[in-house]
Structure 1
Amino acid sequence: MAEGVKRRYDSTRRTAQAHENRLRILEAAHALFVAQGYGATTVAEVAAAAGVAPETVYAAFRTKLTLLRRAWDLAVGGDDREVHLLERPELREVFDEPDLRARLARFARVNTAIMQRTAGLRLAVEHAADGDPAAGELLAEIDRARLDAMGVHARAAAATGRLAVPEATCQDVLVATTDGALWRTLVERRGWSDEDYAGWLARLWVATLVEGVDVGE
């Protein structure tokens, strides 16, 4: 019986260690892709930064492109749980807010947090896509997923009866303002705080999208 308990303990410990290794590898890959670019980063460098052997990286992810994909997924969600972004608690709270103005303010705060995690990596994917067809496909997938997600937000906004523009226009406005470019410009380059950025984004969305809002408010 004791031997069986020991085997279960060893198995649990190995599983936990493998999970920790994966997270360290993904965090190291993210940092290196942002700092020096996807093309210039080697699996050996990722392994060294994560404190594991290159073979461990290949065993967990097989290819550098898969490593980039999983690093992106981790950055978007903020953790490695297999829960779609729109089903995560912070987004469910956005959709549960009945007042469209308050909802957009909530969404601006959530989106700002996502930009903190993803904007740099998004830029690395864009640069990689210039010369790597597989990275280009990943970028297209990322953009399709964001377009679909903003469509969900736009439909929900329209359902409140307070949307000042057509649903398709709302989707386009959200898509245009959530790819990381604005966050990089205002926060990274111009020195805005994330709090200031989230407040400005909320005001922009409310003024553009909510019916009956005085732009001077």
Structure 2
Amino acid sequence: MSGPVKRQYDSSRRQEQARENRRRVMRAAHTLFVTKGYGRTTIADIAAEAGVAPETVYSAFKNKAGLLHRTWDLAVGGDEQDIPMIERPELRAGFAEPDLRKRFTAFAVVNTAAMRRTARLHIAVRAAAASEAAAAALVADIDRERLAAMAEHARAAAATGRLAVSEGECRDVLWTTTDGTLWHQLAERREWSDERYAAWLGRLWVSAFVLP
């Protein structure tokens, strides 16, 4: 019995090591894409930062474009679970809140946490989009998916009968205020705390969207 148990144990260890290597590579990629720029960062740079061989990066992600997409997915969700942001429990709980003021206030808190994870990378990818096809493709995907998500928020808000603007206006304003630019300007450049930013964003949305 000792043989099969040992092989199973060794296999589990290898799988966990592979997962840890992927996490290290994605963390390294995130850091370098933000600080050095996507176009100027090489697979060799990322491998060195992560402490793995370049072959390990290629084996796990195939190429830099594949790594960029997986790094973005990790930043958005905060973990490696393949669950769209709109389906995550913290957002579904917001949709279940009948009070529209509380709903937008809660959404502002969730969005602020997401901006902490994604805004710097989003800005770096947008900066690279003019000259890097992979970055341009990711930006297009991000914008399309975020617009669809904000449309769902707007539809749900309209269904309460308390929305003060059109569903389309709600969608477009949410889309514009959730791309990381506001968070970067206020939290990063003006040094607002995330708590202050979330409270302000919640007040902004409530005043713009909710009938008195």
Rounded to whole Å, the distance in 2 between the matches of 1:158 and 1:100 is: 10
**The 10-residue stretch of structure 1 (143-152 or 88-97) with the greater mean CA deviation from structure 2:** 88-97
Q: Percent identity?
A: 62
Corresponding residue for residue 41 of structure 1: 41
Superposed displacement of residue 145, structure 1: 0.3
SS at match of 1:40: coil
Give ranges in structure 2 of 5+ residues lacking alignment: none
Corresponding residue for residue 79 of structure 1: 79
Superposed displacement of residue 134, structure 1: 2.7
Superposed displacement of residue 133, structure 1: 2.3
Rounded to whole Å, the distance in 1 between the matches of 2:170 and 2:21 is: 41
For residues 76-125 of structure 1, what are the alpha-carbon distances to aligned partners after superposition, in whole Å with 9 as ceiling and x for unaligned?
00001111111111111111111100000000000000000000000111
Normalising by structure 2, report the TM-score.
0.98
Corresponding residue for residue 160 of structure 2: 160
Corresponding residue for residue 100 of structure 1: 100
Corresponding residue for residue 215 of structure 1: none
User: What one-letter code is carried by the residue in structure 2 that aligns with 1:51?
Assistant: G
Rounded to whole Å, the distance in 2 between the matches of 1:96 and 1:6 is: 48
For residues 122-148 of structure 1, what are the alpha-carbon distances to aligned partners after superposition, in whole Å with 9 as ceiling and x for unaligned?
011101101112321111011000000
User: What one-letter code is carried by the residue in structure 2 that aligns with 1:80?
Assistant: E
RMSD: 0.7
Rounded to whole Å, the distance in 2 between the matches of 1:155 and 1:141 is: 21
Give ranges in structure 1 of 5+ residues lacking alignment: 213-217
Q: Does 1:201 align with 2:188?
A: no
Corresponding residue for residue 175 of structure 2: 175
Rounded to whole Å, the distance in 1 between the matches of 2:102 and 2:2 is: 57
Rounded to whole Å, the distance in 1 between the matches of 2:82 and 2:116 is: 20
User: What one-letter code is carried by the residue in structure 1 that aligns with 2:38?
Assistant: Y
User: What one-letter code is carried by the residue in structure 1 that aligns with 2:109?
Assistant: R
Rounded to whole Å, the distance in 1 between the matches of 2:89 and 2:41 is: 34
For residues 17-40 of structure 1, what are the alpha-carbon distances to aligned partners after superposition, in whole Å with 9 as ceiling and x for unaligned?
100000010000001100110011
Corresponding residue for residue 56 of structure 1: 56
Count of residues in Structure 1 that have an aligned counterpart in Structure 2: 212
For residues 148-169 of structure 1, what are the alpha-carbon distances to aligned partners after superposition, in whole Å with 9 as ceiling and x for unaligned?
0001111111111110011111
Corresponding residue for residue 66 of structure 1: 66
Corresponding residue for residue 32 of structure 1: 32
For residues 172-202 of structure 1, what are the alpha-carbon distances to aligned partners after superposition, in whole Å with 9 as ceiling and x for unaligned?
0100100000000001001111100000000
Rounded to whole Å, the distance in 2 between the matches of 1:49 and 1:133 is: 24
Rounded to whole Å, the distance in 2 between the matches of 1:5 and 1:98 is: 53
Normalising by structure 1, report the TM-score.
0.96
Q: Does 1:17 align with 2:14?
A: no
Rounded to whole Å, the distance in 2 between the matches of 1:180 and 1:55 is: 33
Q: Does 1:150 align with 2:166?
A: no
**The 10-residue stretch of structure 1 (190-199 or 84-93) with the greater mean CA deviation from structure 2:** 84-93
User: What one-letter code is carried by the residue in structure 2 that aligns with 1:53?
Assistant: A
User: What one-letter code is carried by the residue in structure 2 that aligns with 1:9?
Assistant: Y
Superposed displacement of residue 2, structure 1: 1.4
